[in-house]
Structure 1
Amino acid sequence: MALRIQVLGLTGAWLDGRPVDLGPAGQRAVLGLLVLAGGRPVTRSALIEAIWADEPPESAVNILQTRVKHLRRALEPGRPARRASRLIPRAGDGYRIDAPSGCVDLFEFRRLARLDRLDEALGCWKGDPLADVPVLSGHPALIALAEERYGVLVRHAEALLADGRAERAVALLAEAAAARPLDEAGQARLIRAYQAAGRRAEAFATYHAVRELLVEELGVDPGPELAAAHEALLREETPKPGGPTAPRVPRTPVPAELPPDLGGFVGREAELAQLDHLALADRDGPDTALRIIVLSGTPGVGKTTLAVRWAQRRRDRFADGQLYVDLRGYDPEQPMAPGDAPAGFLRSLGLPPEAIPVTLGERVARLRSMLAGRRMLLLLDNAASVDQVRPLLPGTGTCVVLVTSRDSLTGLVVGHDAKRLELDLLPLPDAMVLFTRLLGARVGVEAQAAAALAVQCARLPLALRIVAELAAMRGTAPLATLVDELSDQHRRLDLLVTGSDPRTDVGAVFSWSYGHLPPPVARIFRLLGLHPGPDIDSYALAALCGEDPATARRSADVLARAHLLGRADGDRYALHDLLRAYAAQLVAEDDEKSRAEALAGLLGYYRGAAQTAIDTLYPAERRRLLDSARHGTPAPDLHTAALSLSWLDAERANLVATAVHAARHGRPEHTTALTIILLRYLESAGHYDEATTLHTHALQAAVQVRDRRQEAHLETNFAVILAQQGRYPEAVQRLERAASLAAVIADPVAQARAVGNLGHVYQRQGRFPEAAERLAEAIALCRQAGDSTGEARGLGNLGQVYLRQGRDDQAVAPLRAAVDICRRIEDATGEAYALISISHIASRGGAYERAEQLARAALELCRRGNEPAGEGYALDGLGLARLRRDDPAGALALIRQALEIFRRLGERAGEANACNSLGEALTAAGDHAAARAQYTAALMLATEIGDEHQAARARRGLTPHPTVPGPAHTRL
């Protein structure tokens, strides 16, 4: 997995782009100290002294070892438990970090600096090193690191001056000088840079300020280097680095209209580099085409701030000046008139007011004439349309035009070959850096609450700054209090109001974009506020707004171009949290009838499409528990199992959110129906958290509407989910209640499911006589109700009870009967589990080839039928058959695959079973120590969940005695 570690700023780590939880500050301190050592060993005593100074606890060594263990586990998730760490190996009595090349920002900074790639090296810094580890503030290694960066910054500035890029050098040296106000050499460098850039007033001001500071703080006059810089100013000389001075060339006044750079700017290094590439790469080549860049993104994402930051950093590349205009394209008042912007540019270029042409066409022509051959930057801010931009385009390739817009301005891309840069939400680590700069040490102390605030702000810089100001105004009040207030989406936008300037109110900024939408598209945006899930496709959107999918898709595309809707993968769209809150605020003002119709359409679509997908995926259970729910709205193609599974995976979060939303908003029948529809899918794939959430709300809904039939089925379903996780006592309690409810309402199917699953749990607990009794009762009830699927599952489970008791001859008949029924009704899952059990019987009887054939057939059925748990049991059975044929190596490979599946699903009984099988295979391979470890793991897990069969099997393995493999299981 690709690892990236960050210490130059907030401590962070990512594996394949996903954030890693590095734990509390003390744990991050250990990682920081190892990284600061640059790969050299750090002794245990040095680590303890750095973290606890003179007062280490008695358990410091143990605490340190635990922190290292947790770091290894977090950063090397695939490392086997007993294999030595490659990333953080032991080194003497301490540790060192041995990170791959390029994965640690500090190491990369040093590598780039050695190669004289100084700009890239400085770009590695995202803030103060280890800013969220206060225990290391003032550590000698951090002080040395600050000096190291300062040296690189000075080298880079001097190189820029030598290259004639004085403005960029000024920006770097000003930053360095501000941090070291009494460093005469640094202040002298800044004065020379100001002079080289033609900014003599600022050079003189800098000299006088530092001179006064030296007198006040140290009681001394400027030294030789500072005095020499001042003397050069007085002589009007422009010093050349490393050479004699030359007379200063008088400069022709040029426009410098860029707005001021925003303090506290963080991140966006990749976007800044991309702007460099788009605007400046190969500028001296033969290409004479005009370069236009469209910087677009959602309102409040920081487009103008980024554009100004880049323009200020690269102003030295535009020697003839920089023009700026705010086109006010989304202003609630009148946007700038078409002729005003060209007129303003003409005045900036020195044309007297009386000489400015009257008509727009003449102004455009004159502007192009005056821009011809000049190396200028035109920053066109807040454009709403191509028509606002087109009159301002130069006719020469020596200029660069940077446009910011909430719209994608496709016409500029198609008609003028503009390059588009989409600005995404601020990454969470950068959002945390911004919070740290705005709120200081509070962020490190309340890191979890600060991260929650960043998420609530949708990582929009505008919202982040408003929330930081809110927190500052509240003094010492915990950030968690603000998190609680912002958790109410209906109040969130009201809180994100500054009250003084609509341009800094999130809701007002959104409203300017919303006001430009055509009425039908505006209606769809409002209705999106009713959608409870994280994203939406065109079919669900069509159901929500009562349109056909093609019309819905066209409207979504309009919203996406306006950056009021984000594009996800393929035909999917998403609103970030603040836009969702804004849409919900708007739709709340629509009439209740239209809202109810929209929500009914959405709920009906999800229920009907889910029923179709489940029917396709599990045809043997079609309409077993519910009457089919169909909806008239068009739906995607779900005619194959693969398409249905893909749709369910993509829509899982939406289906759960919709069911919960329905329960909370007076539509309990939708919640209960959708929960029952989705059980098989959620249970088979191990989505236990979602299943628990659904069943909790669905049971409340069933009680609310007094539907005892659904309540009985839901209690049984919930018990199945609990049993899969090894929570047998809770499962038994729910199944007993389900059986009682079903008996009262005389529903044989509901009663059979409850009683049959009770038998299944009893066999797990080793209560075999009770299990057999309950399963026989369930089989009779299923036959009475004509429920062939339930009958087959009951027979299969009864055969497994006999198999667990070692009564193989008795087990064969019910298992074969189960196979026959399953084949007749096309129940691939039930057939697969029965075949696995028959495979165990064949293996124990010495028919090893037959056992392998049966297990392979079951494996294929499970893979085709989306039954990963069954796949695990089939692999286990196949492995044991291979073991009986004296192939321990082949057995180990198969059983390990099974163990991986069970662990991924969270099926703890299966995990215990596979650990026992591994113990048996390792014993046969002669690795008794490893076998004992597996048996011990199986015993601990089986004891914890109350699986007496697997516990007894593990104890026999530890004795040792011959073991009895654990058969698979099915649910009724």
Structure 2
Amino acid sequence: MHPGAPRQRAVLAVLLLSADRVVPMEHIADVVWDGHAPTTARTQIAICVAALRKAFKNAGWNQEVITTSAPGYRLRAADHRIDLLEFETMVARSRDLVRRRDAAAATDTLHRALALFRGPLLADVPGRHVATHRARVEELRLSALEQLLSLRLDLGQHQELIGELTTLVSDSPAREKVRALLMLALYRAGRRAEALDTFRRGRRQSIEEHGLEPGPELQRLHNAILRDDPTLTSASGPAVVRTPAQLPPRITALVGRQWELAALDRFVAAPGSSLAVASISGGPGVGKTELAVQWSRQVADRFPDGQLFADLHGHHPAGPADPRDVLAGFLRALGVPAGQVPEDTTERTALYRSMAHGRRMLVLLDDAESFAQVQPLLPGDERCCVVVTSRRRICEVPTGLSLHLDPLARHDSSLLLADLTRARPTSEAVLDRVAELCEDLPLALRGVGALLASKPHWTARELVAKLADDRTRLDHVSFGPTGVRAALAASYDRLGDRAKEMFRRLSLLSVPDFPAWIASSTLDADPVEAEQLVEELVEAHLLHVAGGRYRLPELVRLFGRERAACEDSGDARRAACRRAFTRWLEEARDARHRCGATGVDDAGWFATERASLAAVIAQSAQMGLREVARELASTTSAAAGACAVSVAS
């Protein structure tokens, strides 16, 4: 089929470049009109999509190729041949063959992959976005070509490769990997002097044009040639830099987070003059690592020089990882022999940045604790991309994109549960109720899914009944040693003693939310200290801010009550509640007095506190604090009448 008019080609291009993924309408418009979309963009895109669907149908495709999927469209790659996807698949297969030491099969696979190229990507589609992808794919092509040449060199084809490598070095003199291959081919062909001259010419050009010495791998190869290192003549010799592929495996499908995925895609595609750093923050169990890993695996092909991963253990019981140790692992992954890794952290950082220079790598730093931990692990080359996940916003990290994750939307939570429990069909109402009791927290939802898988005799309705019991809910959502309870404990354990105490006290209150002034009364602390402790809890994501008030998520509240039962006496817990209830009573008395005198303004106070006051009255009565309950109920009722009269007058 022929895609038709230029605008149709542009729409098809952006869908092809994100095949099998939902592309938001705003992103399509931004690409098609190069950031200057008209007000009629949505209508024009819909017309283009309709024309493309007709063209696919006329070409013999009866199944729908482009589907409407909120908030945009998705091109289904199944049963279709997309050259770029085939190329990426074959390149990935070749890497697997290399790991299995099948150089001949890997060489053949790369030959077939490179044969798919018949010219620049989407050459007839203009625009900045497509140009960025075109440059990315060209980099992928060159990287695959370098890998192919390296494999052929390992297969002993050094004589045949000299001419081809000489041309490539002339066309791309800054690509040190190609120069290293030419030097090695010349050396193995018995042309040692020419190999050394190839290094000298490259060094001179690098210094004159960029003011830089050649990279450490090229210098090591040069030194090895000077001393006639015997390993240079074997296929296992120090030919080229290693390409690490350290990303964790994709265990489960990612549900939701389409906006965040699109934001990350736009961020990494945008050209920049500084290191690209994306930060993903959010509370325990909200899915930061899952989002980062899933997205990183989706875009790994954009970083042909490798992907590095480190779990920084920011909330591990044994303490955070030492960046010095992480650097040692990175350097070994990049090909530095263990005996040549410097001892000093500063020297390790310098060598790491030298190794990363000139390469396009992805670095994923998971569960970071602080900027001091992250800073030595940032590569210096702007072609690299770094993704940092952390429970706290690390403001010092120079991020180009900062994402904060909240729990999933209810619809996405239900979809995730449906996927986790697909072996036992469950009604939508039951799924929604389970999602509600899990507070749409991905870690809790996955814990429930794992629990059901281990309990085939349980029905989903039985699970709902068990989750609805506050005494056992944390047990059921914390299936396994890395569940919700462990995640919350990791945040709790890093608090100061006074913040821990305030958290336990606040968790005792059965109110939907509360004002800042109540926090000081639970701990019997002065307002300044109370404010500092509250902020510590907010930063740890154990306390949420909502409309100028504070709220404890229910799972967090249940965890806090567990800790209070273990660490505080019954008298201490009762006294904390009494102080808080008494403070509400005092504030209600004052508001009632002001309401009778001034009217509308203080009527608003009772409206704001209504839900919390009702909860306090019920809880104080339940705890046997009947005097407080009666007086608070009386004051609230009388105030409502007084305010009504005052407003009417």
Range into which the TM-score falls when normalised by the shorter chain:
0.5 to 0.7
Matches of 1:112 and 1:306 in 2, distance apart? 31
* Residues 660/115 of structure 1: CA separation in 2 closer, same or farther (3 Å cut): farther
**Residue pair 1:428, 1:454 contacting (<8 A) in 2 also:** yes
Give 1:657's aligned residue: 615
* Residues 124/665 of structure 1: CA separation in 2 closer, same or farther (3 Å cut): farther
- Secondary structure, in 3 states, of the residue corresponding to 1:273? helix
Give 1:240's aligned residue: 116
> Which residue among 331, 341, 365 is the counterpart of 1:380?
365
Q: For each residue in 1:193-243, what CA deviation from the matched residue of structure 2 results, as whole angstroms up to 9, or x when unmatched?
A: 422x35337699xxxxxxxxxxxxxxxxxxxxxxxxx99849545233667
What is the deviation of 1:438? 1.0
* Residues 614/191 of structure 1: CA separation in 2 closer, same or farther (3 Å cut): same
**Residue pair 1:293, 1:403 contacting (<8 A) in 2 also:** yes
Matches of 1:193 and 1:396 in 2, distance apart? 24
> Which residue among 67, 84, 94 is the counterpart of 1:200?
94
Instruction: Say if 2:553 is the partner of 1:576.
Output: yes
Matches of 1:233 and 1:341 in 2, distance apart? 34
Matches of 1:121 and 1:149 in 2, distance apart? 15
Instruction: Please identify the structure whose Cα radius of gyration is greater.
Output: 1
Give 2:637's aligned residue: 679
Instruction: Say if 2:580 is the partner of 1:585.
Output: no
What is the deviation of 1:121? 9.1
Instruction: Say if 2:230 is the partner of 1:261.
Output: no
Matches of 2:624 and 2:22 in 1, distance apart? 54
Alignment of 1:414-425 (within 5 A): 416=398, 419-425=401-407
* Residues 421/439 of structure 1: CA separation in 2 closer, same or farther (3 Å cut): same
Q: For each residue in 1:64-119, what CA deviation from the matched residue of structure 2 results, as whole angstroms up to 9, or x when unmatched?
A: xxxxxxxxxxxxxxxxxxxxxxxxxxxxxxxxxxxxxxxxxxxxxxx999675424
What is the deviation of 1:372? 2.3
Instruction: Say if 2:510 is the partner of 1:529.
Output: no
* Residues 558/343 of structure 1: CA separation in 2 closer, same or farther (3 Å cut): same
Q: For each residue in 1:374-419, what CA deviation from the matched residue of structure 2 results, as whole angstroms up to 9, or x when unmatched?
A: 222111011122221121122232222211111222333xxx4564
Instruction: Say if 2:66 is the partner of 1:152.
Output: yes
> Which residue among 429, 436, 447 is the counterpart of 1:466?
447
Gaps of 5+ in 1: 1-110, 126-143, 154-159, 161-168, 177-182, 205-229, 620-639, 685-826, 832-860, 866-972
**Residue pair 1:543, 1:601 contacting (<8 A) in 2 also:** yes
What is the deviation of 1:473? 3.2
Q: For each residue in 1:825-868, what CA deviation from the matched residue of structure 2 results, as whole angstroms up to 9, or x when unmatched?
A: xx89559xxxxxxxxxxxxxxxxxxxxxxxxxxxxx53xx6xxx
Instruction: Say if 2:462 is the partner of 1:481.
Output: yes
Give 2:291's aligned residue: 306
Give 1:123's aligned residue: 22
Structure with larger RCO (C-alpha < 8 A, sep 6+): 2
Matches of 2:316 and 2:65 in 1, distance apart? 46
Give 2:268's aligned residue: 280
Q: For each residue in 1:323-376, what CA deviation from the matched residue of structure 2 results, as whole angstroms up to 9, or x when unmatched?
A: 100111211124322310111111111111111001111111111222223222
Matches of 1:257 and 1:300 in 2, distance apart? 23
Give 2:260's aligned residue: 271
Matches of 1:312 and 1:587 in 2, distance apart? 42
Give 1:808's aligned residue: none
TM-score scaled to structure 2, two decimals?
0.67
Give 1:893's aligned residue: none
What is the deviation of 1:435? 0.7
Matches of 1:408 and 1:829 in 2, distance apart? 45
Amino acid at match of 1:282: A
Give 2:393's aligned residue: 408
**Residue pair 2:366, 2:388 contacting (<8 A) in 1 also:** yes
**Residue pair 1:372, 1:395 contacting (<8 A) in 2 also:** yes
What is the deviation of 1:521? 0.9
Amino acid at match of 1:420: S
- Secondary structure, in 3 states, of the residue corresponding to 1:535? coil
Bigger mean CA offset, 248-257 vs 374-383? 248-257
- Secondary structure, in 3 states, of the residue corresponding to 1:410? coil
* Residues 241/357 of structure 1: CA separation in 2 closer, same or farther (3 Å cut): closer
- Secondary structure, in 3 states, of the residue corresponding to 1:420? strand
* Residues 829/667 of structure 1: CA separation in 2 closer, same or farther (3 Å cut): closer
> Which residue among 520, 525, 546 is the counterpart of 1:547?
525
**Residue pair 1:296, 1:406 contacting (<8 A) in 2 also:** yes
Alignment of 1:754-769 (within 5 A): none
Q: For each residue in 1:848-890, what CA deviation from the matched residue of structure 2 results, as whole angstroms up to 9, or x when unmatched?
A: xxxxxxxxxxxxx53xx6xxxxxxxxxxxxxxxxxxxxxxxxx
Instruction: Say if 2:332 is the partner of 1:354.
Output: no
Matches of 1:280 and 1:599 in 2, distance apart? 50
- Secondary structure, in 3 states, of the residue corresponding to 1:263? coil
Amino acid at match of 1:671: A
Matches of 1:387 and 1:276 in 2, distance apart? 27
**Residue pair 1:322, 1:377 contacting (<8 A) in 2 also:** yes
Amino acid at match of 2:447: I
**Residue pair 1:446, 1:479 contacting (<8 A) in 2 also:** no
**Count of matched residue positions in the alignment of Structure 1 and Structure 2:** 480
- Secondary structure, in 3 states, of the residue corresponding to 2:471? helix
Matches of 1:338 and 1:315 in 2, distance apart? 24
Gaps of 5+ in 2: 1-7, 25-56, 68-73, 99-105, 122-140, 148-239
Matches of 1:150 and 1:373 in 2, distance apart? 43
Q: For each residue in 1:459-509, what CA deviation from the matched residue of structure 2 results, as whole angstroms up to 9, or x when unmatched?
A: 11111011122223333643222122122223222233434xx22x22112
Matches of 2:596 and 2:365 in 1, distance apart? 58
Amino acid at match of 1:260: P
Alignment of 1:603-618 (within 5 A): 603-618=581-596
> Which residue among 490, 496, 508 is the counterpart of 2:471?
490
**Residue pair 2:341, 2:348 contacting (<8 A) in 1 also:** yes
**Residue pair 1:329, 1:384 contacting (<8 A) in 2 also:** yes
**Residue pair 2:588, 2:636 contacting (<8 A) in 1 also:** yes
Amino acid at match of 2:301: D
Give 1:365's aligned residue: 350
Amino acid at match of 2:268: L
Matches of 2:289 and 2:64 in 1, distance apart? 29
TM-score scaled to structure 1, two decimals?
0.46
Q: For each residue in 1:278-324, what CA deviation from the matched residue of structure 2 results, as whole angstroms up to 9, or x when unmatched?
A: x42532x4x2x223222111111111000011111222222322110
Matches of 2:388 and 2:111 in 1, distance apart? 42
- Secondary structure, in 3 states, of the residue corresponding to 2:65? helix
* Residues 273/112 of structure 1: CA separation in 2 closer, same or farther (3 Å cut): farther
What is the deviation of 1:576? 1.3
**Residue pair 1:190, 1:203 contacting (<8 A) in 2 also:** no
Sequence identity (%)? 34
Give 2:539's aligned residue: 561
- Secondary structure, in 3 states, of the residue corresponding to 2:550? strand
- Secondary structure, in 3 states, of the residue corresponding to 1:344? helix
